Structures are given as C-alpha cells and as structure tokens.
Structure 1
Amino acid sequence: MRSSPPVMRSIARFVLVLLALAVPARASEEMPEGFVYLRDVDPTIEQDMRYAGPSNFTGAPVAGYGAAECVLARPAAEALKRVQDAVAARGLTLKVYDCYRPARAVASFIDWAKEPDDLKAKDIYYPNLDKRALFPDYIATRSGHSRGATVDLTLKPRDAKPPKPDDLPRACIAPQKGQAPDGSVAMGTSFDCFDVKANTEAPGLSDEARANRAALVTAMQAQGFENYPMEWWHFTYTPEPYPDTYFDFPITPHGTPE
C-alpha cells in the first residue's frame, strides 16, 4: 500500500481530531439492546481476546475489557456466523482477537502512547516504527470497533495443535511457515503488528501468506465485511448498524445464553 502524501496525512489527522470532538461516545454500564455475545450466536468461533489480558502491545488488560468475550452488534455477529459456516466446510475456524471495543479502551491506548517506550513491546509489536507514529494509521483516536460492527480475526485449522509456551511471544514480523505462533494459519505477520508487512496486500509476502490473506478477505467479503487495507485482520460489517455512534459500555462476563 502506498503511503499518503504528507499533506493528506496531516489533513486526515486533523479530521480525526474534529470527529473526536464532535461525536461524543455513548456512555453506559450495560450492554445496549442490539448487541450480543458472539458465543450466543456461534459458540464454535474461537475467541482469543487479547485486550482482556496482558498479551497485547500495552502489556496489561485494557480498560473496559472486564471479560475475554467477543461482543458485537447482532447483524455483524450473525454475518460472522455465516462466514464460520463457509470456512468450516474447508476444515477451518475463525479465531477472533477483538470485536466491540469500549471508547474508554481507545482512550487508554492514547494514554499508553504518551508513556516511555517499553523496548520488549516495541521489539514484538512495532519494531520498525516510533511509538508516536502509530496514530492514526494503526491505532485510531476514534475506533470503528466502538461502533460494534468491526472485528479483528484470522483463520485457524480446526485440528491445529496449541502453541508451545516458548513459541510466544516473538517479533510480529518473524517468518512464518505452515502456521503462526498461536496455531492460526500463516499470514506473514501476527495480529497487532504495526508494520507495513501487515498491510493486506504488502509486497514481499510468501505465496502461502498471500493465499491465506486472500482466502480470509474473500470469505469475509462474501458476507458483507470490508477489509481495512493497512491490517489484514481488520474487517467492518456493512452497512454498519450504528454508523454514527461510539459506545462505551464495558465488556462483562457472559451470563445466561438467550
């Protein structure tokens, strides 16, 4: 993916700031009607919710993630189930890393960016970038995840063996062959890799990674999801159920299934 000219990048950052000021998040402590736990729609989709624990670029559980649960607007969750049905026929499963993201979590990412570099995190998640360069291309100051129809995910063989403890963590741009360190299919980088190699159509990918990325994009597009070109794992269901609303309810433990 080509980089935007400096002037256009400056304009984009300015627009993001204006949007952040103009559209307040809808604060609530309860999950609104219209949102569901993904496991109530399809319990076969694997969940590896990174921001609910320490295995993410901040090194700690993120504000708003009180449970390792994928929550989505119902139409997005139902579309994801249709994707799962399609890939299951090929011996695969979806593996989700992040779904709805509370606005307070996005604010905590911004606070994290102001802190001194953690060299271990840098080596793993953004080895070729300065921390300040992560906004807004890789970490949005106003995230579409907070609208409830965006999901980060990958594909995984149903019979994949669990990763060994010494396989994690490692640099997100480390070579992959056969599978990623977490047992998912080789995509060329791991999730939350802030690097040009994570661009969906990045040059220099192996044939295997290119084919796996294309398979994921094709499966998701077939059910109405659009890929964000800078991140192979990032998809938004369209039309979005809540295109103008940023929610801020926390993710809480799953209760009784509907």
Structure 2
Amino acid sequence: MKKLLILLLLYSYSLTAQKLAKGFVYLNDVDKSIQSELRYFSNNNFIGKPIDGYHKNCIIITLKAALQLKEIQQQLVKQGLSLKIYDAYRPQEAVNHFVKWARILDDTLMKKEYYPDVPKSKLFSLGFIASKSGHTRGSTVDLTIIDTKTGKELDMGSPYDFFGKESHPFYKNIAKEQQKNRLLLRNIMIKNGFTPYNNEWWHFTLKNEPFPKTYFNFPIE
C-alpha cells in the first residue's frame, strides 16, 4: 500500500519534479501544514547573509523523507503541535560557501549570536563546519516543534545552529522543560525512522536514505 502511495505521489508531482532531481519533492506538496523558516535564505544564520544556492523560500527533500515527516506531523497535530523546518536538502554550493566563509577568520559578524565561546579557527576541527554534509544527499533535516496555538517554538535550551556544547542533545545544564522538549523531538523522530546527530538537537537523517553516497548540487528554487 505504501509503495502504491509513493507511485501516486510521484505521478502527481511530475510537473514540479521536472525542476528537481528524480526522487525529490517540495515538502509543501506533501504536507502543507508543516511550518518552515528557511534560515539560509535569509540573513538570520551564522554567516549573516543569504547562502549560495538558496534562491527561493521553499523546502526541498527526498520523497521518502517527506512521507516520514508527514507521518510525524500527523502525530504532532493531535497534540496541538507542529514541525517547523529550518533546512532540508542543501546544495553543495551552499556547503562550499560555508567552507569559504570559515577560512576568512576576520568575518565574525554573527559570532555573538551563534558561536560566542568557540574560536572561528576551530570550527573545522570541532566538526561544526565540514566540506561534505548529509543535507546534500537530500534526506537530512534540521527542525524543531512549535505550539500551534501560540505559533511559538518549544524552548529547546539553545538556538538552532548554535555552535557549542549547549546544542548537544543531552546537555544537562538547561531547564527540565527544555530537556523534555528535546526528548519529545528526538523520540518522535527516532520512532518514525530518523537517526539523530550526536552534536545537534535539531539534526536528523532518514535511515536507509535513498541516496546515501550522492551529493547533489541543484539550486533551491
């Protein structure tokens, strides 16, 4: 039954899919209720300006990952909650932009907000910046949970994309409610087929992702 659903969805998305790599979709076509804030399309990110390859404010992801996010969303909606996506598919040119920026040590426009306690010179060695990203394979997602009544994000104890130990999923020096919120996100993602990343509470990759060795570079538009 699920295979049939995938085939039907692929057919219905055939026109828009012509603009994407095969197997990718716009998340909004799969579930319009999932919220988003594409940070790398804006100035609100650790570099402080839009990132190369982000030409439109839309979430692109593999169909397989999108269907799992839809299932998660259906479970959260029953609790008065919703997913909110910060980033999903990320073109290689965006990763290259990160790498180029990290090597310009005097460009620290957003240091206070995103990496106040980490020297920029150590972003590579500490694993915050790398030349390859799971996002570029299309089945990794950065996200949080919001309260649908207030529209506000649940308090996770540290901001998205914060470079520091505070972003580790099991960081203890935060309030109990913040720890509870992190576990809520982590548990529902794991339950529905995603693998968490040890250093970032917001980062998850689909198990058995469809393109485990392919790093794509088509733009987000």
Q: TM-score, normalised by structure 1?
A: 0.76
The within-5 A match list for 1:19-58 is 30-58=19-47
Structure 2 contact 61–89 (Cα < 8 Å) conserved: yes
Shift of residue 205, structure 1, vs aligned partner: 1.8
Gaps of 5+ in 2: 1-17
Question: Is 1:244 aligned with 2:213?
Answer: yes
CA distance, structure 2, for counterparts of residue 117 and residue 157 of structure 1: 39
Is the counterpart of residue 71 in structure 1 residue 71 in structure 2? no
Contact 1:35–1:71 (CA under 8 A) maintained in structure 2: yes
Q: 1:159 deviation in Å?
A: 1.4
Residues in 2 aligned to 1:33 and 1:147: alpha-carbon distance in whole angstroms: 12
Alignment deviations for residues 69-126 of structure 1 (CA, whole Å, 9 cap, x no partner): 1100100000000010111111000000000000000000011112233444110000
Displacement of 1:68 in angstroms is: 1.2
Shift of 1:204: 1.1
Q: Deviations over 1:143-178 (max 9, x none)?
A: 0000000000000000125xxxxxxxxxxxxxxxxx
2:147 maps to amino acid? P
Instruction: Please tell me whether the aligned partners of residues 71 and 99 of structure 1 are also in contact (alpha carbons under 8 angstroms).
Output: yes
Give the Å deviation of 1:140: 2.4
The higher relative CO (CA closer than 8 Å, separation ≥ 6) is in 1
**2:75 aligned to 67, 71, 86, which one?**
86
Q: CA RMSD in A?
A: 1.3
- Corresponding residue number in structure 2 for 1:128: 117
Of 168, 174, 179, the residue aligned with 1:210 is: 179
Q: Secondary structure at the match of 2:111?
A: helix
1:146 aligns with 2:136: yes
- Describe the SS at the equivalent of 1:63: coil
Distance 2:220 2:116 in 1: 30
Instruction: Give runs of ≥4 in structure 1 deviating > 4 Å.
Output: none
2:102 to 113, 123, 128: 113
CA separation in 2, counterparts of 1:140 and 1:44? 32
Identify the residue that residue 219 of structure 1 maps to in structure 2.
188
Between the aligned residues of both structures, percent identity stands at: 41
Shift of 1:226: 0.7
For residues 190-201 of structure 1, the aligned pairs below 5 Å read 190-201=159-170
Q: Is the 8 A contact 1:45 1:93 kept in 2?
A: yes
Q: Which residue of 2 is the match for residue 159 of structure 1? A: 149
Aligned partners of 1:203 and 1:232: how far apart in 2?
A: 13
Q: Distance in 2 between matches of 1:86 and 1:118?
A: 42
Output the CA distance in 1 between the equivalents of 2:201 and 2:84. 13
Name which of structure 1's ranges 225-234 and 197-206 shifts more when overlaid on structure 2. 197-206
The CA distance in 1 between the partners of 2:148 and 2:134, in whole Å, is 29
User: Cα deviation per residue 1:32-77 (whole Å; 9 max; x = unaligned)?
Assistant: 1110000000010001000011111111110110111110010000
Paired AA for residue 214 in structure 1: L
Structure 1: unaligned runs, 5 residues or longer: 1-28, 162-182, 253-258
